[in-house]
Amino acid sequence: MARALQEDCKGLAALVAHTEGAFSGHAFEALMHHLLPQGGDFTVMPIAATSLGIGNEELLNLPPSCKETFKDAADIRADTFKAGVYFRPLLSNFPSVDSMLRVGDTVHLFQMTVSSRRTGVSVKNLTNLYEQLGLRDQQLDLRFYYVAPDTSIKDFKVPAPARSCGTRFYVLKGGMKSRRPQQAAQPLQQLQALQL
C-alpha cells in the first residue's frame, strides 16, 4: 500500500471511493496518513455537543510536518511532544487515535473512519491518553477529528462526549478532493513586480 501511495495517490483515492468494508478503511487510513503530514487546507465541521449534528464548514490549515512513529504514548510526553511532527502509533489498535500532530499550542488528534455512523470516542480512553501524554495540566487547545471520506460526510452522525477534558470535536473531510495544498512561496521578482 505504501508503494501505491507513492506511485498513484489519486488511484488509491478512487479505490477508497469505490470499495467498502475493511479494505476501504485500510486504504482510506493509508491515504490520510499520506495527506495530513503534507499539510494544506482541510475542511472541518464542529460536532455539536448537544446533538448528533455537525456545524458549518471551517478551514483547518496544517503545516507540512515530518512523520514519526511511537510505541507508547509515554514516548511523546508533553515535554517532548515536538511541534511539527505527525506522530503515528506503531500498533494499529492504539486506543482512541490513529495519529497526532502538535502545531504551536494546539494538539490535533485524528481518528480515521469510513463509517458515517459511529459511537463516540471513549471519554475514558481519551482521558487516559491525555494523562499518558502529560497534557491534562497543560494550557493547550485539544482538538479531536473524525476523519471521514468526503462522500460520507453528509450522513455523518456521532455524539461529542459530554465530559471531554476541554476537547473540541470535529469531522474532517478526508480524501484527495478535500485537501488544498499549501500555497507555494512566490519568487522575489514576482513579489517586487506586484509592488510596482
Strands 99-103 and 85-89: antiparallel
pLDDT in tens, 93-128: 788 899 999 999 999 999 988 765 556 777 788 888
CB distance 125 to 165 below 8 Å: no
- pTM (2 decimals)? 0.80
Q: What are the residue boundaries of the structural domains of the chain, listed by start?
A: 2-195
Q: Does residue 163 have a pLDDT over 80?
A: no
Backbone angles phi, psi at 87, to 5 degrees: -90, 135
Strands 99-103 and 106-112: antiparallel
Reading the block at residue 7, the C-alpha cell is 506511485
Helix (H, G, I), strand (E, B) or coil at 25: helix
